[in-house]
Every structure is written in C-alpha cells, then in structure tokens.
Amino acid sequence: MSNRRDFLKYTSLAGLSAAGGLSLSSCSGSEREDKQEVKLQHTLDASKRHYQQQFNMSGYAAPRIDTVRIGFIGLGNRGGAAVERVSNLDGVQINALCDVRKIKVEEAKARIKTKRHNPALHDTDAEAWKKICESPNIDLVYICTPWEYHTPMAVYAMEHGKHVATEIPAAYTVEDCWRLVETSEKTKKHCVMLENCCYDFFELLTLNMAQQGFFGELIHGEGAYIHHILESLFDKDARWNLWRLKQNDHRNGNLYPTHGFGPICQAMGINRGDCLDYMVSMSSNDFMLEPYAEKRASEDPTFKEFIHQPYRGNINTSTIRTQKGRTILLQHDVSSPRIYSRLHVLSGTKAMAQKYPLPGKIATGHEDWLNEAEMKKIATEYTPPIVNKLGELAKQIGGHGGMDFMMDWRLIDCLRNGLAMDMDVYDAAAWSVIGPLSEWSVANRSHPIDIPDFTGGKWKVNKPVDLSLSQGATTGVWSGKL
C-alpha cells in the first residue's frame, strides 16, 4: 500500500473478504483504491501461507450412504437443471429446494422426474439455506448460488455435518480457499467442485490416455473460457441481481478459470503427483464493457454505476508453472466477440491433443492430425469405463451434451459406495485460487505470485484420479439399474 496508508483502519474489511470479497461497486474513487489495495494485500499474504495438513482428504472414502438425501440451494440456470438431472437417479432423495425467488422453487419442483421426491420448499427467508445445512434429513448440500455465497454456504454445511457439492468457482478469495480446505479436513466432509468439463467426452478420453502414458511425459497444457455473454451480463432477467455483471465490473483477471483448467490439472496429476508453483497474468484494457455500460445507462439509469470502473479488462492471459516444470496457459474472455472456446490442449513428449476450434484431435507427430480411422482406433482403446457405461444415457438425459449427468452420477455413486472423490477440496481450492491470484498479478504489472500448496506437501504421495469403475458403479436410474 502507498505508505502503508492507514492499513489498520481497513483491517476490519478482512471479514468482508472472508465472506466473499471486498465490494468495489458504488464507492468513490479513493474508497475504491483503498479497498483494492487492502484486497490485493490480503491476496499476497494468504498466498504465502505454509500449511500443515490436519487430515488428508485426497483419497478419503467417507462412510457410504445408501440413499443420499439432497438439499439444493440456488435454483437459477444451473440449479434447476441439476434438480432435474439428479431426480433421474436411484439412491437419491431430494429433500429440500431453496431459492430467494418463489417462482424458481416452483419451477425446480416441477422439473423433478419421479414421484418419490417430496422436498421441503424454502422461498421466503434469505437465511433459509442455513436450515437446509442444519437439517438432520440432509446428507449432501448442492450449491448453485452466485459466486460470493459458495464458500460461506459450503463452510456452514460442512460444519453441520454435510457433504458439499458447489458450483464453480468454489471460492474467489485466497482466504476462502484456505477456509474450505481447513473445514473439509476438520469435519472430514467432502467439498466437491461441480466442474462438469472434467466429464466431457474428449476430456475424459485424453485423461485416460495421459494416465496410460500415450502422450509420454506431459510438458504443456492450455485451457480457456471464451464465451461472449456481454449482452446477457446486463440482462436483469438472466441472473439474479446482475450478480455476474458485478463480478466482471470491478475485478480484472481470470475470473472463471476452472472449465479449461480442471481437465488439464487432472491429466497432469496436479495435487496428485505434481503441484502448481507460481503464475503470472496479464489483461487487456476494457474496450467492451465501458461503452456497452454507457449505452445501457442511457436507456436505464440504474446501469450508471457500471461506468468508469478502473479494475476490469476484456481478455486475460495467465501462465502457470508446476513444481515438475510443466507450463499451463489459461485465457478468459466473456465480453469481446470471439468464437466460443474451452481450449483443451495437452502436449507431451510423444503426442498431443487439442479440442477447439476444431473437434477433438490427436497428433503423434508434427505433420498432421490422425485420420478418422486412427481416431476411432484410439477411442476404442482409450475411452474410459465411465463413458462406455454412461455415455449414451448421459446424452439422452443431457446437460451440456451429457457431461453434467455423468458428473452428477459419479458424485452420487461415490457417496453411495463410500469411494474417494474425483475432485476433492484441494482441487476446489487450487483451481479456484487462480482467480484472485491473477487479479494480483494483473494489478502488479504481471509480476509472478506463488500458488499455495493446499495439500501441505501431500501431493507427492496422493494417488491419481481413478475412473476405472473397479469399485462402485452401482447407481442406476429411475427406470432400472444400469
């Protein structure tokens, strides 16, 4: 901070950071600068923390739950669809639905596919989510709220004896990433981030190929979230209280990294044989949000608060180095007119894979991609058991082409059979922490910043993700066993 300006005056804001970040909206220029400096100092301090693990949640198999009783919090775009998908599964009981909007609760209940569910409905009390976390009739709290509520709700649920599945990112401050790790270890409750892209078909194929040594030693990976949603950010009907616009309004970094990052981390064995080391990040200026905010403010004065915000850009590029010397490139852009991409690149000593802008391709040399016949042969050999078992059914039930259903099925099957999770709390923290760390680097002329080791060194012994289905795989759908 400039002359460490009145730092103690602002230490009370740390509580706000732990509860979801320091809001910079509706502040004067000097207030924004002070809060931004406090926020960045907290980020740097938390990134330097050295941690001694209390209990290793990687590979931990919690006691099995024959029937998983679920409470859903947040029933907007993601939550309502999740209710419908999960209602297709045997071995689950949807016992609670919660949203501050009554119509969303009613819509979600109407999407339930089977009559065996009779959930309690919570739609009038903004604190009703706590009742779900406290209820003795809930085993799993499924969180699909705006980002700032993910950590407070997840922590509260675990403290009250519930496993947690939370939408992405699981946290957006470094402090909150640590809170998730500490609480999961203390309570021995799972905290699973709902990163659906880890269950997309090509990503699962390349994960299995990487684990089987097809690529040789992985050297480099690339991922992205490039999705033009500028107009919908300003659509009051698209998201509750314009929450995502507010995130992009006063933050400048890679705010939504995990779609591209998660599959790369799994293939590289991050937290399970390798560990993230440090990163740098750079953003463009804001060429898109400012003029669009001015246009919308001329039509609706409520958008005036989104003009003249100094802490935002359009395209962010971040680069990461791992402890084993691998590199990862990540991009984020939700406001400029680019073709949609979740760039998925794995480059090794023997072969490489790439998805976007083309469909998934494999190359074993530098001259050309493998042809269709060769790709079919690879698919036959390396398609993992979860896709062979669930792929066609997942496409029928849906959710981004079926990956959402495979994610839900795997979550429930692990809980019902007492299996370790594919994505544990260390993944939730390490993948989510890229957001705040990238903000710090952008604000400091792309200086490097260390990425915390949330495993406390246990990445050296943790076992890789196991999608062999050698255990479990007993969960069926409502029409009968798979």
**For residues 150 and 3, which has the higher predicted lDDT (pLDDT)?**
150
pLDDT attached to residue 479: 62
pLDDT attached to residue 7: 26
* Residue 123 to residue 153: CA distance in whole angstroms: 16
pLDDT-derived band at 212 (thresholds 50, 70, 90) equals very high
pLDDT attached to residue 20: 41
Residue 317, beta-bridge partner list: 282, 331
Has residue 280 been placed in a domain? Answer: yes
In this structure, what DSSP letter does residue 349 have? S
Cis peptide before 357 (omega within 30 of 0): yes
Contact indicator for 226, 341 with CB cutoff of 8 Å: yes
Find the mean pLDDT for residues 471-479. 89
Domain of 30, in residue numbers: 2-47
* Residue 46 to residue 258: CA distance in whole angstroms: 20
Strand locations in 150-298 (E): 163-166, 191-193, 218-226, 276-283
Tens digits of per-residue pLDDT, 336-386?
999 999 999 999 999 999 999 999 999 999 999 999 999 999 999 999 999
Length of the chain: 482
Strand locations in 89-217 (E): 92-98, 120-122, 140-143, 163-166, 191-193
Q: Which helix or strand (DSSP H or E) is residue 79 part of? A: helix 77-86
Has residue 443 been placed in a domain? Answer: yes
Contact indicator for 275, 433 with CB cutoff of 8 Å: no
* Residue indicated by tokens 């050309």: 368
Instruction: Read off the tokens for 174.
Output: 């470094």
CA distances from 299 to 259, 295, 314 (A): 34, 7, 23
Instruction: Read off the tokens for 124.
Output: 């009038």
Tens digits of per-residue pLDDT, 257-280?
999 999 999 999 999 999 999 999
pLDDT-derived band at 13 (thresholds 50, 70, 90) equals very low
Find the mean pLDDT for residues 280-304. 97
Contact indicator for 415, 233 with CB cutoff of 8 Å: no
Q: What does pLDDT average to over the chain?
A: 93
* Residue 94 to residue 88: CA distance in whole angstroms: 11
Tens digits of per-residue pLDDT, 310-321?
899 999 999 999
Has residue 88 been placed in a domain? Answer: no
Q: State the first-to-last Cα distance of the chain, in angstroms, to the nearest integer.
A: 59
Tens digits of per-residue pLDDT, 376-393?
999 999 999 999 999 999
CATH number at residue 216: 3.30.360.10
pLDDT attached to residue 480: 53
Instruction: Read off the tokens for 381.
Output: 């050999």
pLDDT-derived band at 31 (thresholds 50, 70, 90) equals confident
pLDDT-derived band at 18 (thresholds 50, 70, 90) equals very low
pLDDT-derived band at 29 (thresholds 50, 70, 90) equals low
* Residue 412 to residue 396: CA distance in whole angstroms: 19
> Chain-centre distance of CA 217, in angstroms?
26
pLDDT attached to residue 478: 77
Instruction: Read off the tokens for 125.
Output: 């009390």
* Residue 187 to residue 203: CA distance in whole angstroms: 32
- Domain boundary (13, 29, 47) is at 47
Find the mean pLDDT for residues 383-405. 96
pLDDT-derived band at 27 (thresholds 50, 70, 90) equals low
Nearest to 468 by CA among 424, 428, 419: 419
Has residue 303 been placed in a domain? Answer: yes
| Total domains present in the chain | 2
Find the mean pLDDT for residues 2-17. 32
CA distances from 459 to 102, 170, 222, 455 (A): 44, 20, 22, 6
Residue 163, beta-bridge partner list: 140
In this structure, what DSSP letter does residue 392 have? H
CB atoms inside a 10 Å sphere around CB 60: 17
Give the relative orientation of helices 258-268 and 425-432 as an angle to the nearest 10 degrees. Answer: 130
> Chain-centre distance of CA 473, in angstroms?
24
pLDDT-derived band at 26 (thresholds 50, 70, 90) equals low
Has residue 179 been placed in a domain? Answer: no
| Three-state DSSP state, 99 | coil
CA distances from 233 to 206, 296, 413 (A): 33, 11, 35
Q: In what order do the strands lie in the sheet with 344-348?
A: 361-363, 352-355, 344-348, 218-226, 327-333, 316-322, 276-283, 449-450
Has residue 291 been placed in a domain? Answer: yes
Give the lowest-confidence range in 121-135, 272-286, 415-429: 121-135
pLDDT-derived band at 2 (thresholds 50, 70, 90) equals very low
Tens digits of per-residue pLDDT, 74-88?
999 999 999 999 999
Nearest to 441 by CA among 57, 47, 27: 47
Has residue 436 been placed in a domain? Answer: yes
pLDDT at 15 over 70: no
Degrees to nearest 5, angle at CA 456 with 41 and 424: 95
Tens digits of per-residue pLDDT, 421-449?
999 999 999 999 999 999 999 999 999 99
Has residue 16 been placed in a domain? Answer: yes
